[in-house]
A and B are shown apart, each in its own frame.
Chain A
Amino acid sequence: MRDRLGRPPALLVLPAVLATLLLLVPLVAMVASTSWQDLPGHLTSRTALDALRISLVTSTVAIAACLLLGLPLAWLLARVDFRGRGALRALVTVPLVLPPVVAGVALRSAFGRTGLVGEPLLAWTGFAFPFTTWGVVLAHVFVSMPFVVIAIEGALRSADPRYDAAAATLGATRWTTFRRVTVPLALPGVVAGTVLGWARSLGEFGATITFNGNYPGTTQTMPTLIYVTRQSDQDAALSLSLLMLLVSIGVLIALRDHWLGTP
């Protein structure tokens, strides 16, 4: 180690090593205890494939909704000066720090069959979110939105607003400027926020199971399947977990330019 300022002190190096081990050992242990000959069977079982399908579909639909609604919100927070902007930004971060199970309870209160919005919705349309795949999507949107909005707002903020001014002098409306200047300039951040939100959505457990229960084929996602499988079949739970680990690593690789690009 070449460092002109002297050797890094053990008082700092030791905790750092410990921290690394704490993060690494569980993952290594999980991979090590996976039963490799049973793995293909576990991953191709009907319930596993259903859960994987529901996880992928709901996360993807949820992230599309997050982007459709969250990108405009991020733009408002980054580019428009209005009263209560600080309060709105704080509000956006609440689901980020809220225990997911509480998020599930809150969603129940709003969209449950007797909920504030859920009851009239049921009366008018005969549709209710809880215990449906749409309910899973709704829970995912609720927990992932903050990630998407905060990441994208940061990206929009770092895109120089003088480019917006230049576009305006050239005759562009704010919509044209948003579409052709602001978002393209912030695109790497927008993509990063989207992938981050998608990963959060894929791993979502607490709000989903509280709001929607755990019904194979409709609301059972990979995390909720792993949770119930673990109680009966440790090996199957390990196999499913390994699959999720691989997906997480995939996300990390997709984002490496943003987070791992700097040494």
Chain B
Amino acid sequence: MRAGRLVADLQVAGRVEAGFTAEPGEVLAVIGPNGAGKSSLLHAIAGLVDATGRARLGDTDLLALPVRERRVGLVFQGQLLFPHLTALDNVAFGLRARGASRAESEAVARDWLERFGIADLAGRRPRELSGGQAQRVAIARALATGPDVLLLDEPFTGLDVSVQMALRMELGRHLRDFPGVALLVTHDAIDALTLADRVLVLDGGRVAQVGPPAEVAAEPRTSHVARLVGLNLVADGDTLLAFPPDAVVVSLQEPEGSTRLRWRGPIATLAPHGDAVRLMVHASPDLLADLTPAAATELGLVPGREVWLSTKATAVSRYPARR
């Protein structure tokens, strides 16, 4: 075990350019829109794409090592369980590849399947497993080799919501026990908020924000994260303004008063959201507004209609765009 701090400053041409550090035992969530470079960052650490820069794990230079010597456990998007091997053989594969005997590997693999509560599925092929079961096998396969770094690429994508919830709690337990650095790529704010110690926000291949989940959720610096946590985000010079959709007032006439916090634009979409109706308005930028169904009917709101949006200064949190 070379567990140590991961210090990375990686460039993958045309994909991502990101520097960050992560401590052993820490779970770092990586979020960002599609194409932000999340998977590329993971694959660069694993060595599956060409990367320049540096990636040190403790005293080890990861970039100097071939993939199989990096001791990095990667849970692929779509799992990539070996279809011709049983669940047990999938989990035992890494141990066998690293020279353990068959009996020894299978004992360890069986133990991992037990920890994930799927020991009874040991003899099944991946096609005979449900999505949630297959994902458990995939995570067990990555953990079984005792990696120094665990990389999870959207581990809940494509699973039923109820399965996601159960697996999220389970993964949380395993991540707490995992002594190394864990990176979790996700597009779901819940994953970041519940599983991560810190959140790394990627936008357009660059690091837009790093911080504890609560801080990132309260003061998002990218519109993507703002949307994930359900906030409106407006840039005002070097200051960012964040405010929730239910603090937005919708009107057909220009609002009275001297507030600068008002915007105008056509309604893009209109959809039920909990007990409220949520508008998306093409102002600059796009803004969300929640109002009661009665109010929406009274104002005669339909997509395409021009409306005014305003909010009270007290509902807005202001913070610098760059730290």
Contacts and interface: CB of A to CB of B under 8 A. Distances in A.
Interface of A: 160, 162-163, 165-173, 176, 180-181, 184-185, 187
Contacts of A185: 82-84
28 contacts: A163-B80, A163-B82, A166-B76, A166-B82, A167-B82, A167-B97, A168-B68, A169-B46, A169-B67, A169-B68, A169-B72, A169-B73, A169-B74, A170-B93, A170-B97, A170-B141, A171-B68, A171-B69, A171-B71, A171-B98, A171-B145, A172-B97, A180-B93, A180-B97, A181-B82, A184-B84, A185-B82, A185-B84
A166 B80 contact: yes
Contact of A169 (B48, B83, B84): B48
Contacts of B94: 170-172
B104 to A, nearest CB: 15
Nearest to A165: B48
Interface in B87-106: 93-94, 96-98
Contacts of B93: 167, 170, 172, 180
Given A169-B74, A171-B68, A185-B82, 5 more contacts: A167-B82, A169-B73, A169-B142, A171-B69, A176-B97
Main SS at interface, chain B: mixed
Interface string B49-74: 00000000000000000111111111
Nearest to B73: A169
Contacts of A176: 97
Contacts of B141: 170
A162 B84 contact: no
A165 B70 CA distance: 13
Q: For chain B, which range describes its interface: under 10, 10 to 19, 20 to 34, or 35 or more residues? A: 20 to 34
A212 B46 CA distance: 55
A166 to B, nearest CB: 5
Contacts of B76: 162, 166
A160 B96 CA distance: 22
Contacts of B67: 165, 168-169
A170 B48 CA distance: 12
Interface of B: 46-48, 66-74, 76, 80, 82-84, 93-94, 96-98, 141-142, 145
Given A166-B74, A167-B93, A167-B97, A173 B68 contact: yes
A51 to B, nearest CB: 40
Contacts of B145: 170-171
B97 A173 contact: yes
A181 B96 CA distance: 13
Residue in A162, A171, A187 with the greatest tally of chain B CB atoms within 10 Å: A171
Contacts of A160: 80
A155 to B, nearest CB: 13
Contacts of B73: 169
Given A170-B145, A171-B98, A172-B93, A162 B80 contact: yes
A103 to B, nearest CB: 37
Nearest to B84: A184
A64 to B, nearest CB: 23
Nearest to B48: A165
A181 B83 CA distance: 9
B7 to A, nearest CB: 21
A163 to B, nearest CB: 6
A171 B72 CA distance: 9
Nearest to B99: A171
Contacts of B48: 165, 168-169
A167 B74 CA distance: 10
Contacts of B83: 185
A189 to B, nearest CB: 13
A221 B68 CA distance: 49
Contacts of B97: 167, 170-173, 176, 180
B88 to A, nearest CB: 14
Nearest to B141: A170
B85 to A, nearest CB: 8
Contacts of A162: 76, 80
A168 B73 CA distance: 10
A174 B72 CA distance: 17
Contacts of A166: 74, 76, 80, 82
Contacts of B96: 180
A166 B48 CA distance: 9
A167 B145 CA distance: 12
Contacts of A169: 46, 48, 67-68, 70, 72-74, 142
A71 to B, nearest CB: 17
A168 B72 CA distance: 10
Nearest to A174: B68
A244 B72 CA distance: 56
A78 to B, nearest CB: 18
